[in-house]
Structure 1
Amino acid sequence: MDRERDLPTWPLHALSRTMRVRPHDWHVQQTGEGPLLVLLHGAGGSTHSFRDLIPLLADTHRVVAIDLPGQGFSRMGTKARCSLRHMAEDIAALCADRGWQPAAIIGHSAGGAIALRLSQMVTAPDGAAPRVIGLNAALAPFDGVAGWLFPVLAKLLVLNPLVPKLFSLTSGNPARVRQLIEGTGSSLSDEGLALYTRLIGDRDHVDATLRMMAQWHLDALLKDLPRLTAEVTLVAADGDRAVPPATSVRAAAHMPRAHVVHLAGLGHLAHEEDPARLAGVIRDALDAPSRA
């Protein structure tokens, strides 16, 4: 994927803006009027995953979707700030630079973890922590051997400059991408699969995703869950094979103002499979009364 050439063909490209706020060049899509919603995609994704959800939410809200550093059309200014905390800090700096005070932060998968950490760093217009809505939020460490093996492998991969190129060439195969997506419990249209194929064929995007995996640590956030002041809604799709619903149930039990909404018949990419249904769930969460 040639980022300069391909942006005009990307979903909702008319909403795209590049914002230089150190240390990164951020790709942001924004539209709508009203209370601000900040949308964060998961590892290996981009703003495209919200392509059908953004117009539905923009009827009543201002929506800002952000590509994580180095992923999608954002460019990394440094390769050393791909951890959960660093990405949250850098997004908070972007919000401060732009004067954004989100009423809510909506994060998918790993973006859900970033959303929780970001809620401690920014404020809503009323001065409180913004609401957080996690869509199949990745709020559990890898179990067993995978807990140390996956991060170690990711670190080894990013140390070899040839690996991201080879990975992007092999995993950019449409059949392989379909297999990866269906392995999460989701079924996407040919258009959706083609977009992921383009992303995974981009060496820089793959490199940034691997660096995120290598620097990813959840322990500090999980210890902080009892101290979070944000209203939290965790949306858990029962068919998710990447982040089981039990992950959301366990995490919510440790937060003082959290609850879980279960969705039947959808997988890890639920917001791409049925955006209208997810838009309804998000509106309900935004309108829900405060939980003591």
Structure 2
Amino acid sequence: MESPHYKGHQQINGNDLYYEYYKNEASTITLVLIHGFLSSSFSFRRLIPLLKEEYNVVSVDLPPFGNSGKSTQFIYSYENMAKSIIELTQKLGVKEFVVIGHSMGGQISLNIAYLQPDLVKRAVLLCSSGYLERSKQSLILASYLPFFHLIVKRHLARSGVLKNLQNVVYNQSLIDEEMFHGYMRPFLEDDIFKGLTRLIRHREGDLPKEKLHQINTPCLLIWGEQDKVVPLQIGKRLHHDLKHSNLIVFEETGHLVPEERPEEVFLHIRNFIVNDEDATIKANELH
């Protein structure tokens, strides 16, 4: 039977957060999916159909991306995005969850695990960003210019959606019309570039190793060996700095692992969760 599918918006921290909620009455486990930079829930379109058959799934569009708001009052920091997702899950009645983050979404997932470890049972990091420093002060100051969002728009237009897709996908034959239009659609309105301007201004640096060392959440890291955006070396560093982590590497795979290897990603996630459930059962039996 088809799982109930809810699409909705929640006003959180002065911005409109869009989410899709796939309820699975047979499961007690909820997965929260967080996409990467210049993306949306669309990037999980091949993974969600597999996950929702076994779990409750919440996929969130981070502002200013996808169908979420592009408020010019919202603080577009990783910490505020993490807190906004925490508040969303609370409003949806989710008491704990497994967080799955791709690219920038992986870094926000780590922020959630750092800020509220009791909420996050496990974390799956798909080619997660890591160790990026804050934007240079000159760029932050330039972001206050009234026309700066047009510079952002021109810069992204110059690289183009097709060129960006070719950079993030190893198997170029996967790039079809549906994929192209799915990643292009969010950039057809100018409001997103004002949000991106504030993201450049507000984005703090990625969590330093001192804070990563404090994260006790079990983490599964999944990487593409040919990732040009967040190289495998970053995955190896995160694996070293996260105390309870495991690193899986896919050959002949680029940055967009949810698109390129959905079945393999799903199987690794399921094994990761099953092992956790088995450990809980054994611990309960001992008591």
Give the shorter-chain TM-score range.
0.7 to 0.9
Aligned residues of 2:258 and 2:265 also touching (Cα < 8 A): yes
Give the equivalent residue in structure 2 for 1:69. 63
- TM-score for both structures, normalised by structure 1: 0.82
Q: Give the 5 Å matches for 1:74-223.
A: 74-77=68-71, 79-122=73-116, 129-141=120-132, 149=136, 152-153=138-139, 155-156=140-141, 158-165=143-150, 167-168=152-153, 171=156, 176-186=160-170, 187=172, 188-218=175-205, 220-223=207-210
Query: Aligned partners of 1:148, 1:218: CA distance in 2, in Å?
Result: 8
Query: Aligned partners of 1:238, 1:207: CA distance in 2, in Å?
Result: 34
Query: Aligned partners of 2:188, 2:141: CA distance in 1, in Å?
Result: 20
User: Percent of aligned pairs with the same residue?
Assistant: 24
Of 28, 32, 43 in structure 1, the residue corresponding to residue 23 of structure 2 is 32
SS at match of 1:120: helix
Query: Aligned partners of 2:189, 2:82: CA distance in 1, in Å?
Result: 24
The CA deviation string for residues 88-112 of structure 1, in whole angstroms up to 9 with x for no partner, is 1122122222221243000000110
Output the amino acid matched with 2:241. H
SS at match of 1:233: strand
Q: How many residues align?
A: 267
Which residues of structure 1 form unaligned runs of 5+? 1-13
Give the equivalent residue in structure 2 for 1:3. none
Distance 1:165 1:219, change over 3 A: closer
Distance 1:67 1:257, change over 3 A: same
Distance 1:87 1:279, change over 3 A: same
Output the amino acid matched with 1:89. K
Q: Does 2:8 correspond to 1:23? A: no
The alpha carbon displacement at 1:157 in A equals 5.6
Q: Give the 5 Å matches for 1:218-237.
A: 218=205, 220-237=207-224
The alpha carbon displacement at 1:266 in A equals 1.3
Query: Aligned partners of 1:98, 1:148: CA distance in 2, in Å?
Result: 34
The alpha carbon displacement at 1:273 in A equals 2.2
Aligned residues of 1:84 and 1:114 also touching (Cα < 8 A): yes
SS at match of 1:183: helix
Give the equivalent residue in structure 1 for 2:35. 41
SS at match of 2:36: coil
Deviates more, 1:263-272 or 1:236-245: 263-272
Query: Aligned partners of 2:105, 2:99: CA distance in 1, in Å?
Result: 10
The alpha carbon displacement at 1:158 in A equals 3.5
The alpha carbon displacement at 1:168 in A equals 3.6
Which residues of structure 2 form unaligned runs of 5+? 280-287
Aligned residues of 2:127 and 2:223 also touching (Cα < 8 A): yes
The alpha carbon displacement at 1:172 in A equals 5.0
Give the superposed CA RMSD. 2.5
Query: Aligned partners of 2:76, 2:208: CA distance in 1, in Å?
Result: 15
Max radius of gyration: which structure? 2
The alpha carbon displacement at 1:246 in A equals 1.0
Query: Aligned partners of 1:102, 1:172: CA distance in 2, in Å?
Result: 40
Query: Aligned partners of 2:152, 2:69: CA distance in 1, in Å?
Result: 19
The CA deviation string for residues 44-80 of structure 1, in whole angstroms up to 9 with x for no partner, is 1111111121111000000001111222111145545
Distance 1:148 1:213, change over 3 A: closer
The alpha carbon displacement at 1:82 in A equals 0.8
